[in-house]
């Protein structure tokens, strides 16, 4: 009996190895149209610099206070800790020995120069949609950077996530390489927007729910960002950040400046606007707006049933609001001047309250942009109220002036109080 069980296990392991061997490395190669496409010309470098801005490559590949693109930024995930690599053209610790084909394989196939499969925290599931010509321009730009000798820190992942065979299985389930294809039923601007949003902009990497294995559905339906400890709201639901009811002009303004009538960005999205979107052309922002506005509206689910907060909690919350918030946001949450209204504010009534909690604890700061050079921010309050008081205040905000959402517990506040800002 024991021998039979061992034979069954051996056969299953052999079958699994065969399936993975067929799926691995699961790659697609497209050659450069011409060596001139990745030559270090001023035109290629300028184009690549623009594309690097559009993809916000610096956000992950630059540590706080570190040399640009020299890596070192830490990404905490449910599977362990990842360390962004050095992508300057330094020959021993960077990509100085890489060819344009090596870079293409990383971007398009999620495979490093040495043959290792890359972890999808590097969003090659989106970058695979980038054209070879754009990949070559990006490579030209990165090769033009000052080389920085900064050794890469090995990833620290738990077993079995630290095994290449596990990653190969993940790719079999969730990854297929392929450049973004144009939709002949749509115009050039819409297709350009789809290419930027779905590919280089990798919007779904944050704005989609991830399953237990870290894969996204690429639906832009909103999701918690485990590496950052924020919730990226749905771009297809009007109960969250759906854009269907907004004008194209307002979407362009929000993407390019961080503020628009009745809307503003903070948290990780403020960094995206500051480092990436504000530097994009008006035509590209408009293309993204056209595409985002065209997405099918998600049917808003019925809000989950919950037990309302006790009246004593709401009274205590009202007093905290009067002391700390009313002078800027109005006695009834109507907003004052540049300070947003809290009544009817969808950011407060998300099912996941993390954003409201973190803004109160850490402050809320729109990005400083060319179109909004002196943004009005909210100071942090983590030093003043304790967890129970913050929970009481957030609960009050989520249930006042027509807002209707579940109460927040002190345990939820405490969980996010310890989440690092970076």
In the chain, domain spans:
24-174, 188-294, 311-417
Quote the tokens at residue 299.
Answer: 């049917």
Chain-centre distance for alpha carbon 167: 21
Residues 6+ apart with CB under 8 A from 43: none
Identify which of 112, 124, 62, 352 has the alpha carbon closest to the alpha carbon of residue 232. 352
Distance CA 193, CA 289 (A): 7
Tally of helices (H runs) and strands (E runs) in the chain? 16, 7
- pLDDT, position 228: 81
Q: Is 230 helix (H, G, I), strand (E, B) or coil?
A: strand
Helix residue ranges per DSSP H, 304-409: 311-324, 326-329, 354-362, 387-398
The β-bridge relationship of strands 80-83 and 259-260 is unpaired
Residues 6+ apart with CB under 8 A from 232: 206, 207, 222, 223, 224, 225, 268, 269
Q: What is the pLDDT of residues 224-259, one digit of tens each?
A: 888 788 999 999 988 888 887 889 999 999 999 999
CATH of 311-417 among 1.10.510.10, 3.40.50.620, 1.20.58.220, 1.10.760.10: 1.10.760.10
Quote the tokens at residue 199.
Answer: 């590919």
Strand order in the sheet with 80-83: 74-77, 80-83, 156-157
Query: The pTM is what?
Result: 0.89
Distance CA 318, CA 87 (A): 51
- pLDDT, position 8: 57
> Contact 40/89 with Cβ under 8 angstroms?
no
% of the chain residues with pLDDT over 70: 92
Distance CA 227, CA 206 (A): 10
Fold of 188-294: Cytochrome Bc1 Complex; Chain D, domain 2 (1.10.760)
Distance CA 132, CA 325 (A): 51
Q: Which residues of 31-54 are buried (b: 16+ CB within 10 A; e: fewer)?
A: ebeeeebbeeeeebbebbbbbbbb
Quote the tokens at residue 324.
Answer: 């700390």
Are domains 188-294 and 311-417 of this chain identical in fold?
yes
The segments of the chain whose pLDDT lies below 50 read 22
Q: Report the chain's mean pLDDT, rounded to a whole number.
A: 91
Q: What are phi and psi of 264, to 5 degrees?
A: -165, 160
- pLDDT, position 12: 56
């Amino acid at each position: 009996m024991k021998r039979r069980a061992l034979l069954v296990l051996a056969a299953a392991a052999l079958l699994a190895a065969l399936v993975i061997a067929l799926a691995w490395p699961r790659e697609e190669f497209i050659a450069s149209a011409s060596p001139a496409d990745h030559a270090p010309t001023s035109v290629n470098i300028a184009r690549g610099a623009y594309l690097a801005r559009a993809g916000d490559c610096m956000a992950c590949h630059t540590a706080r206070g570190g040399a640009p693109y020299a890596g070192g930024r830490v990404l905490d995930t449910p599977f362990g800790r990842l360390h962004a690599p050095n992508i300057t053209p330094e020959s021993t610790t960077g990509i100085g020995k890489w060819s344009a084909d090596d870079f293409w394989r990383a971007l398009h196939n999620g495979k490093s120069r040495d043959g290792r499969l890359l972890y999808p925290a590097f969003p090659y599931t989106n970058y695979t949609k980038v054209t070879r010509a754009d990949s070559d321009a990006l490579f030209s730009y990165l090769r033009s950077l000052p080389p920085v000798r900064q050794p890469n820190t090995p990833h620290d992942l738990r077993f079995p996530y630290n095994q290449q065979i596990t990653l190969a299985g993940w790719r079999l389930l969730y990854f297929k390489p392929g450049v973004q294809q144009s939709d002949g039923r749509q115009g050039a601007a819409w297709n350009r927007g789809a290419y930027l949003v779905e590919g280089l902009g990798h919007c779904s990497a944050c704005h989609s729910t991830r399953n237990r294995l870290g894969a996204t559905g690429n639906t832009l339906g909103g999701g918690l960002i485990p590496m950052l400890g924020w919730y990226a709201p749905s771009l297809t639901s009007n109960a969250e950040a759906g854009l269907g009811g907004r004008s194209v002009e307002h979407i362009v303004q929000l993407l390019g400046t961080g503020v628009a009538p009745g809307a503003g960005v903070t948290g990780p999205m403020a960094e995206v606007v500051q480092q990436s979107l504000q530097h994009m052309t008006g035509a590209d922002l408009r293309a993204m707006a056209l595409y985002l506005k065209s997405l099918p509206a998600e049917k808003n689910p019925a809000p989950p049933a919950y037990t309302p907060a006790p009246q004593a909690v709401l009274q205590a919350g009202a007093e905290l609001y009067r002391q700390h918030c009313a002078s800027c946001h109005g006695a009834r949450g109507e907003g004052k001047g540049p300070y947003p209204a809290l009544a009817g504010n969808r950011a407060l009534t998300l099912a996941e309250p993390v954003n409201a909690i973190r803004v109160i604890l850490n402050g809320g700061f729109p990005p400083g942009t060319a179109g909004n050079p002196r943004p009005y921010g909210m100071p942090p309050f983590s030093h003043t109220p304790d967890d129970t008081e913050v929970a009481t205040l957030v609960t009050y905000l989520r249930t006042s002036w027509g807002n209707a959402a579940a109460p927040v517990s002190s345990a939820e506040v405490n969980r996010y109080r310890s989440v690092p800002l970076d």
